[in-house]
Structure 1
């Protein structure tokens, strides 16, 4: 949960910190609770809906596509939730707005016409929730339209079958357009096109449940490979087409079983998912995979049970229900951002309506009341998965929740096309469920860079900085249990990195080893985890010196030679240079506001170093400490854990150097 200031200490701040009670007071324990959460999200949209219901206009920020497509997004994406609610026997007084809006939006004679699709048109994306709406609620939609209205809907959706689409998860949107028509009762869907798309999508599969977001050569395996698109779509398809396409449907359920055993490691005991990759504005869509498992009636693999699956989803939704006011405007609509409004985070395809992709998380509403997902008692995060480190080969991640901190070490992923801040979204060394990640807000200072969990390099005395964006030769070396990769920031400069996960004897520390070979003079800045940077009085954390509070558990920042640390109500974050004869200096750096996804004001413990052009290798060994506030109760003293800083690393270095 984002840190808020004690209103007794912050005066008028309490006015802005009061969350809407209709979100935060919802216990989100039952099906009716979940339905109420959805209705509370849908109700505010009425004020922004066009007279014919076809467009929802939530704001004026721009996207790479046109305004009409953005308003179609606002209309279509809530359908993931509304369709699920109606399918499961629920009711919503405002549902007629969407039923009418669909018929008016596809009518070329209507003033609210969406326009026909062109090649690679954003309108294609919205065919996915529209198809799900038709398939889930044929009586309310198709069955309520006249023959002329049905014909216009068929015509509008079928345009997609003749247009070029991106060679990515987008192909699923065309599958859903045809599937929706088929399930609604139309005979004018394109079965051949649907099969061809499915056959091609299956070439993205790389084993053990994982799919790339594109053909061979694409290395994105983020939430689009799971909850946002591919896994979710496979599970919905397997439910809707179980009888007509039993072999493929069974294969999709089998993939989900294998995938679930990896994906569970991206969630923590508090319900938070690890922010990673693009489209973080979709928020609790990250947990929609768990609801889709229930929707598709998957036979769960041990140790997962329906009680555990229920807990994974509902805890995530409870977390997001508490993220007010930042995640919500005062009228209850969602903001563009993560825990607070943040345009620095967005991609150029994020309109104010984009964020309602989160409505995928409401798919359990489509289940009968007696489904085991709803009859099961909610269970906590499984004990057998606590205190573990897992090597995740396909996404090139190492997941750890030792010591109560859930995070991944990461190498080897990058976006296959231009995406704003892609180095931050894919190239960082670590990503945390508690501390999130940061994005640049400028290009000329370290404060603007948001360089958490990066090794940033400058070859112009700190005027500009480069971070890892494109990773090469990444692999998990299983015998050693570490992640190894290369990065080439400039001609004549190469960086090799080993990421070593925590161990049970010092569970809150992980190690990073970097070998820099350079023919130019460099400055380095290596950041740990960015942490909430305000004190209990709501003001900036005070610096502490060793001997006057800096060697205690007091809140504040510490800079002590090759060490930097920050302690606040959000927890503790620190870095220490532990290479032989370390010359790097620790700095507790105050980041520019709004760099971090979770906290708008952060401190970043950072190590600064200089590395001259040389024929010799520069070796950096960094110990990184992180303890979220939620795990304080697991440790008698965080300072005792801090004192377990990895030492005697010569053996590790020798092993690393031996492998070269």
Structure 2
């Protein structure tokens, strides 16, 4: 075998660094254990479900990490973890203990944590479960058996929590239900989407749960004791889907190891590495062991090098550092320890190929990348010069087609990347600015697009550009402040403003964005004062510059710089961030450009700078902009719309003189989108 230093030319991380991080995290967490160890409650304000649930999460989620560590060492336990967790299990399962666990019948979150407990009891069976006192084993069975026949499980990735618990129960002679198992497995099949992807439920919910839950659990379940009879006929499909998904997943890691900042539960951080380890466990035939470890090590090291875990060895609610706004309602002080899923590789022994292979470069390290992913409606553009991966989104909103809720900033934006975070302050939820195409009312409030229709997701004929399109009945929302935050956009009373058809033509760091405005049939059209296109939000260290704020540009709490172009010039807005540049250029129909600087709006920097373009919208016309994150030059693409009204075409000339031609969608028609009439545009 090569010397360890030669195994990891990209990250420098070998199994030694992984084990040291795991031990540090476990040692730190156990400083906040209850006397028996049944609850582990890291410091901080209690989560939305209370301290007792936080303590159960702390036990179950660190138990995942401890189990991986012990299994990979074939039961060796220099940290005395087995004895400590055995004592915690004995007390937590005792209904008369003052440290008892919250029960599944008492709180839904206990069903989630029960699955982690069951998985690790199975994984460490000869060293832990088989050595527990029979009375403790009986209590654990009684505790887990509360899930059998429970019909209140959310119909998303939660079905796997019941599957793995009942599989463990069946293996130890406890109660279980074949009907439950078959029903849950069938429900999982209903989540299958094109290209190896899953949706996390019936909504257009595409995020990290695809990898760290819907691909991970089938592989782990198939290896549980007694699962072979039910899993064997299903496992080939699980592996095939995982292999196909991994080809996309490795494209979504930046050269610096950052995962995509998109979707809910981002406080789980390097749980994003879980599908790469699942591929190693399953023996992926699509992605090499060296590339799987490169992706996983890159993701974990990305956080470890930037303050997570913190100086005390703890994971907090945030990204690199504490940032409570990232938490959903269900997030508590121990919730971030689901990051342990991203350390599953430690369950594989040191001589496994994933540990002995030499790291291979990520796709973005091999060259510029351009691909489309049909299921979530994404185009992926990675640029090797800066190592940044960008996703352009015309298919994901964590909603159903036709919904009229607010946009979730972590799902419904037109773009996400490995270097930027969507604006997540209150205005970011209630009045979209970054990566958006919106109509503004007289108060400067922006519309939302959730419930849109995806029209196109493809590469052009030459494979040199991606073309995406979607159509939204844009609406203002009066958000319900009492609605629980589970990642979806905020519900509330909605008022339709008009129909926007948005097209993204993407190549390299540039996007040409074309927006068609149709006011017909929208009761709120008379309130519209402007169309605004928002660009990439870049983290910035500088405070507001003090220029007068344009109230129609963005948030009333932000500072803005605005300028109208000189005759014959394009309006241009440029936001300089920390090593990043976000550019917005108006190519046609946009007359004003500016930059909003927002305080404490993302977890990446003290300030966030967002460039934007706007104009009084022209009904029935296309408005065209070029937007870039690190555009790699000062010359933007050029776009020209030609052809008859019933067959419009856009021709884009990129800075390197490559041309892309794409047909544009026709104006909307039908009972919900009446044909355009000139009088409605007054």
TM-score (norm 2): 0.80
How big is each residue's C-alpha offset from its partner over 1:544-598, in whole Å with a ceiling of 9 and x where there is no partner? xxxxxxxxxxxx9996731110224422111011115x32x1112111x221232
Task: Structure 1: give runs of 5+ residues left out of the alignment.
Answer: 1-25, 544-555, 629-637
2:395/2:454 contact within 8 Å kept: yes
The change in CA–CA distance for 1:188 and 1:431 in structure 2 (over 3 A counts) is same
2:432/2:448 contact within 8 Å kept: no
- Match for residue 198 of structure 2 among 211, 214, 221: 211
Q: Are 1:600 and 2:606 counterparts? A: yes
**Separation in 1 of the partners of 2:222 and 2:158?**
18
1:513/1:622 contact within 8 Å kept: yes
Q: Whose RCO is larger (CA < 8 A, sep 6+)?
A: 1
The change in CA–CA distance for 1:27 and 1:53 in structure 2 (over 3 A counts) is farther
Cα shift at 1:264: 1.9
Q: Are 1:112 and 2:95 counterparts? A: no
How big is each residue's C-alpha offset from its partner over 1:217-259, in whole Å with a ceiling of 9 and x where there is no partner? x2212111112x1101122123336743322122211211111
Cα shift at 1:80: 2.1
RMSD over aligned Cα, in angstroms? 2.9
**Separation in 2 of the partners of 1:140 and 1:566?**
56
Q: Secondary structure at the match of 1:86?
A: helix
**Separation in 2 of the partners of 1:658 and 1:450?**
24
1:255 is aligned to 241
Q: Are 1:513 and 2:514 counterparts? A: yes
Q: Are 1:452 and 2:452 counterparts? A: no
Summarize the alignment of residues 348-359 of structure 1 with structure 2, pairs less than 5 Å apart: 348-359=329-340
1:652 is aligned to 650
Task: Structure 2: give runs of 5+ residues left out of the alignment.
Answer: 1-9, 476-494, 520-524, 548-559, 566-570, 643-648, 652-660, 668-682
TM-score (norm 1): 0.82
**Separation in 1 of the partners of 2:155 and 2:27?**
36
2:586/2:613 contact within 8 Å kept: yes
**Separation in 2 of the partners of 1:82 and 1:28?**
24
Q: Are 1:624 and 2:627 counterparts? A: yes
**Separation in 2 of the partners of 1:374 and 1:98?**
27
- Match for residue 584 of structure 2 among 568, 575, 580: 575
Q: Are 1:93 and 2:79 counterparts? A: yes
- Return the structure number with greater helix share: 1
**Separation in 2 of the partners of 1:49 and 1:122?**
19
2:141/2:174 contact within 8 Å kept: no
1:486 is aligned to 471
How big is each residue's C-alpha offset from its partner over 1:95-146, in whole Å with a ceiling of 9 and x where there is no partner? 1332221221111111111233238711101112111111111133212211
1:47 is aligned to 31
Summarize the alignment of residues 29-40 of structure 1 with structure 2, pairs less than 5 Å apart: 29-40=13-24
**Separation in 2 of the partners of 1:45 and 1:371?**
28
Q: Are 1:400 and 2:381 counterparts? A: yes
**Separation in 2 of the partners of 1:456 and 1:475?**
20
2:645 is aligned to none
Summarize the alignment of residues 355-504 of structure 1 with structure 2, pairs less than 5 Å apart: 355-382=336-363, 386-402=367-383, 404=386, 405-416=388-399, 423-442=408-427, 451-462=433-444, 464-477=445-458, 481-488=466-473, 489=475, 490-502=495-507
- Match for residue 563 of structure 1 among 572, 589, 605: 572
**Separation in 2 of the partners of 1:350 and 1:646?**
46
- Match for residue 596 of structure 2 among 589, 592, 617: 589
**Separation in 2 of the partners of 1:52 and 1:339?**
31
Corresponding pairs, count? 586
Q: Secondary structure at the match of 1:226?
A: helix
How big is each residue's C-alpha offset from its partner over 1:332-372, in whole Å with a ceiling of 9 and x where there is no partner? 21121123322222211111111111100111111121111
Q: Are 1:336 and 2:317 counterparts? A: yes
The change in CA–CA distance for 1:435 and 1:541 in structure 2 (over 3 A counts) is farther
How big is each residue's C-alpha offset from its partner over 1:35-88, in whole Å with a ceiling of 9 and x where there is no partner? 111111111112211111111222453544343122211111122211111001
The change in CA–CA distance for 1:495 and 1:52 in structure 2 (over 3 A counts) is same
2:206/2:398 contact within 8 Å kept: no
